[in-house]
């Protein structure tokens, strides 16, 4: 069957370390779109943090955001699907023990918010130099992020914790899975722990979009590099992991392509899209 849909994660996958799409990959995407393929970016980012280069790329009609918690129509400028966290989940999270080594982010209606000290010094919580610049550019600083989360508990898409301490990350993961009902916990990069509704996740939301577009799993190609991409890669026939991806991501894939710095997405498109 011909490939009718290409879905791609952004950071570590479609984007280079400078957070842009390489010219080679742009040409490959245009080649696929001219062949009749749909192209849907799928990211852990909130809509407000998705690069304009991605949103305005020719052929992009939908974008999956916040690890599957929300889908937006670019042309209509509105949300067409959502799977938010339950308010009770936010209340439970707010009552859990807090670690000074971990910073909380919340995504509300496409806008990312972060606690004040994290925005001021992202590197302290594990961000790279490029990541730190991205955080400072895209997040809205909130002094009391937990109080803010409770005030907005009805409209939170997802949350995330940033920490440079792997032990703290695992303690938070265990707490969330043990104490919070109906929650999905994943990780896009080593210092991040992301959580959404149990029915969210890129894989479940991609399944919704396949039905919306009338495309089967056998006609779809998905790219990813993180644990949060695993279900998405497992769902489709052409589930492709980046060479720079996590070991779990690679195990869920049917094919491994070159790294994001070596035009891995573009090379796989030219290999499989005929």
Give the tens place of pLDDT for each residue, 15-25: 999 999 999 99
**Strand-strand pairing, 238-242 and 255-257:** parallel
pLDDT-above-90 percentage for the chain = 98
The answer to whether 122 touches 132, Cβ cutoff 8 Å, is yes
**Mean pLDDT across 243-260:** 97
What local confidence, expressed as pLDDT, does residue 130 receive?
A: 87
What does the alpha-carbon distance between residue 172 and residue 192 come to, in Å, rounded to a whole number?
11
Please determine, for residue 214, whether its predicted confidence score (pLDDT) is greater than 90: yes
**Strand-strand pairing, 78-82 and 70-73:** antiparallel
Give the tens place of pLDDT for each residue, 96-140: 999 999 999 999 999 999 999 999 999 999 999 989 999 999 999
DSSP 8-class letter at 216: -
Task: Copy the structure tokens of residue 133.
Answer: 């610049």
Band of residue 1 on the pLDDT scale cut at 50, 70, 90: confident
**Mean pLDDT across 15-41:** 97
Task: Copy the structure tokens of residue 13.
Answer: 């996958």
Residue 125 burial by CB count (10 A; 0-12/13-18/19+): exposed, middle or buried? buried
What does the alpha-carbon distance between residue 17 and residue 131 come to, in Å, rounded to a whole number?
9
**Mean pLDDT across 255-266:** 98
pLDDT-above-70 percentage for the chain = 100
Query: How far from the centroid of its chain's Cα atoms is residue 42's Cα?
Result: 6
What does the alpha-carbon distance between residue 54 and residue 57 come to, in Å, rounded to a whole number?
5
Please determine, for residue 238, whether its predicted confidence score (pLDDT) is greater than 90: yes
């Amino acid at each position: 069957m011909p490939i009718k849909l290409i879905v791609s994660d952004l950071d570590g996958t479609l984007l280079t370390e400078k957070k842009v799409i390489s010219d080679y990959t742009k040409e490959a995407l245009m080649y696929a779109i001219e062949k009749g393929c749909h192209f849907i970016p799928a990211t852990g980012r909130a809509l407000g943090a998705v690069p304009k280069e991605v949103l305005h790329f020719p052929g992009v009609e939908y974008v999956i955001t916040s690890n599957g918690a929300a889908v937006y129509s670019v042309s209509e400028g509105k949300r067409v699907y959502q799977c938010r966290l339950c308010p009770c989940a936010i209340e439970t999270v707010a009552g859990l023990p807090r670690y000074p080594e971990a910073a909380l982010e919340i995504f509300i209606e496409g806008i990312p918010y972060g606690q004040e000290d994290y925005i001021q010094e992202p590197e302290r919580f594990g961000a790279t130099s490029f990541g730190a610049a991205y955080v400072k550019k895209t997040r809205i600083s909130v002094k009391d992020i937990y109080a803010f989360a409770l005030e907005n508990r009805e409209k939170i898409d997802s949350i995330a914790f940033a920490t440079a301490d792997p032990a703290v990350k695992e303690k938070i993961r265990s707490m969330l899975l043990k104490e919070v009902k109906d929650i999905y916990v994943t990780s896009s990069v080593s210092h991040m722990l992301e959580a959404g509704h149990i029915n969210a996740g890129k894989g479940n939301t991609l399944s919704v979009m396949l039905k919306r577009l009338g495309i089967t799993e056998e006609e779809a190609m998905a790219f990813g590099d993180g644990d949060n991409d695993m279900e998405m890669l497992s769902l489709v026939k052409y589930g492709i992991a980046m060479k720079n991806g996590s070991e779990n991501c690679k195990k869920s894939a049917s094919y491994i392509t070159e790294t994001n710095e070596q035009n891995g997405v573009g090379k796989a498109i030219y290999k499989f899209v005929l």
